[in-house]
């Protein structure tokens, strides 16, 4: 086999040399930058053995070895792997998960790496995970977050208390129903994981709902591509303020990646500020916003269940919206929540999967 040079351009190969002069031994860290490489880098000579291709470059006369396995794993076919985009997800409607809610026991998740990997895989693919049997104790939600990642402290504290307050500054802290939303869209970066741990739920009402925002956005795109594009292109400001805090962030309701794939939903009617668009575009925005909301709020979209004491739901706050029904103000109900981030959870999953997956085969 000869190396198909057109498949692997010379400068790309030269930049990806993994010899000890190019990558610091014991790390995956490059020692050179693009300006250290000659713009007219070309392949002077190619030698092959059974496992690898050895390339000698001009003008620097550098010698690099690339295994066939590494080259095959890095085919330049334009596929962009991104575990945050819709391509990496299993989109769902409520009926798809009837009787199949990704559920695990906390003790197994905590103690058994195989169970933890399965749970984190559900978080990555379906966007959420329900853990049962978490101790009904103050701040236990932090132990759950720390079992796979890092707690994100905010103005609400390390832990936030979801229970009825006399003068709530956030409607979550009342007994009102809350329609499907993502949390804290007024923050940038937004917390990418949210946990809600139930300590008490003896209220009449106070049931929970989850909605796959990626699935809803995909339905909107299929039904009304112009509405989808408008929501993906229109920056919306979200804001939260109380005596000690003033937060705002401006992002679209539907965030897409550079090739147009759905990657991040921000949706929260409570904290949305007045839309700042030219007057003649406002009606179109409201029509698209309504259409998206109708999908998100539909019975088909929303998975409903009841959190019982000891249950902890962990979800991707950039994808899965959460909701609750209203309850009688006197009904005792107390959840503790905290935020964490997907990078830590995905790192934990990747480390747990090590050993079962081939590592970068670039030889020195
Ligand atoms: C929240 C929230 C839902 C609930 O605290 O962010 O939306 O079930 N709570 O009370
Ligand atoms: Zn090298
Ligand atoms: Zn919320």
If you average pLDDT over every residue of the chain, what do you get? 94
User: What's the rounded Cα separation, in Å, for the pair 59 and 42?
Assistant: 7
* DSSP letters for 55-98: EEEETT--EEEEEHHHHHHT--S-----TTSGGGS----GGGGT
| Residue 361 maps to a domain | no
SS3 313: strand
Q: Indicate if 135 and 22 belong to the same structural domain.
A: no
Q: Which of 12-21, 45-54, 118-127, 193-202 shows the lowest per-residue confidence on average (mean pLDDT)?
A: 45-54
Q: Indicate if 146 and 231 belong to the same structural domain.
A: yes
**Mean pLDDT, residues 273-296:** 97
Ligand 2 mean position, distance from CA 169 (Å): 58
**67 pLDDT higher than 50:** yes
User: What's the rounded Cα separation, in Å, for the pair 161 and 24?
Assistant: 47
Whether 214 and 221 have beta carbons less than 8 Å apart is answered as no
| Residue 79 maps to a domain | no
Q: What is the CATH number of the domain that holds 36?
A: 3.30.2020.30
| Residue 150 maps to a domain | yes
Whether 351 and 162 have beta carbons less than 8 Å apart is answered as no
Q: What is the CATH number of the domain that holds 96?
A: 3.60.130.10
| Residue 18 maps to a domain | yes
Ligand 1 mean position, distance from CA 323 (Å): 7
User: What's the rounded Cα separation, in Å, for the pair 201 and 208?
Assistant: 11
Q: Indicate if 91 and 218 belong to the same structural domain.
A: yes
Q: Which of 166-175, 211-220, 258-267, 336-345 shows the lowest per-residue confidence on average (mean pLDDT)?
A: 166-175
User: What's the rounded Cα separation, in Å, for the pair 166 and 182?
Assistant: 24
| Residue 80 maps to a domain | no
**Which atom of ligand 1 has the smallest separation from the CA of 307?**
8
| Residue 56 maps to a domain | yes
pLDDT for the residue numbered 2: 53
Shortest-distance Cα residue to atom 9 of ligand 1: 172
- Tally of structural domains, the chain: 2
pLDDT category at 360 given cuts 50, 70, 90 is: very low
Ligand 3 mean position, distance from CA 226 (Å): 29
| Domain of residue 33, residue span | 5-73
Q: Indicate if 35 and 147 belong to the same structural domain.
A: no
**Mean pLDDT, residues 169-183:** 94
| Residue 95 maps to a domain | yes
| Residue 286 maps to a domain | yes
For a mutational test of ligand 1's pocket, the pick from 196, 306, 315, i.e. the residue with the most ligand atoms closer than 8 A to its C-beta, is 196
pLDDT for the residue numbered 361: 35
């Amino acid at each position: 086999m000869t190396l198909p040079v057109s498949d692997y351009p010379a400068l790309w190969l030269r930049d990806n040399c993994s010899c000890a002069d190019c990558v610091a031994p014991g790390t995956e860290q490059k020692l050179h930058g693009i300006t250290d490489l000659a713009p007219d880098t070309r392949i002077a000579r190619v030698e092959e053995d059974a496992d690898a291709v050895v390339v000698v470059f001009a003008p620097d006369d550098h010698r690099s070895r690339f295994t066939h396995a590494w080259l095959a794993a890095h085919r330049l076919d334009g596929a962009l792997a991104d575990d945050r985009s819709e391509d990496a997800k299993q989109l769902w409607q409520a009926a798809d998960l009837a009787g199949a809610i990704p559920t695990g026991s906390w003790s197994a998740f905590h103690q058994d790496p195989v169970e933890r990997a399965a749970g984190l895989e559900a978080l990555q693919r379906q966007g959420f995970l329900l853990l049962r049997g978490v101790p009904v104790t103050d701040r236990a939600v932090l132990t759950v977050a720390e079992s796979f990642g890092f707690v994100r402290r905010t103005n609400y504290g390390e832990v936030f208390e979801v229970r009825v307050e006399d003068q709530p500054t956030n409607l979550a802290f009342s007994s009102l129903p809350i329609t499907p939303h993502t949390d804290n869209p007024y923050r940038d970066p937004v917390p990418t994981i949210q946990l809600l741990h139930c300590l008490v739920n003896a209220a009449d009402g106070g049931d929970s709902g989850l909605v796959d925002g990626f699935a809803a956005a995909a339905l909107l795109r299929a039904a009304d591509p112009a509405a989808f594009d408008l929501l993906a292109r229109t920056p919306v400001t979200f804001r939260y303020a109380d005596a000690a805090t003033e937060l705002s962030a401006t992002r679209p309701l539907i965030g897409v990646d550079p090739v147009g794939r759905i990657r991040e939903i921000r949706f929260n009617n409570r904290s949305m500020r007045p839309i700042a668009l030219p007057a003649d575009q406002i009606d179109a925005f409201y029509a698209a916003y309504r259409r998206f909301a109708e999908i998100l709020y539909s019975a088909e979209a929303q998975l409903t269940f009841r959190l019982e004491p000891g249950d902890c739901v962990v979800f991707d706050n950039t994808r899965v919206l959460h909701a609750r029904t209203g309850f009688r103000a006197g009904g005792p109900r107390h959840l503790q929540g905290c935020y964490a981030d997907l990078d830590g959870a995905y790192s934990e999953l990747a480390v747990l999967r090590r050993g079962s997956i081939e590592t970068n085969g670039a030889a020195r």
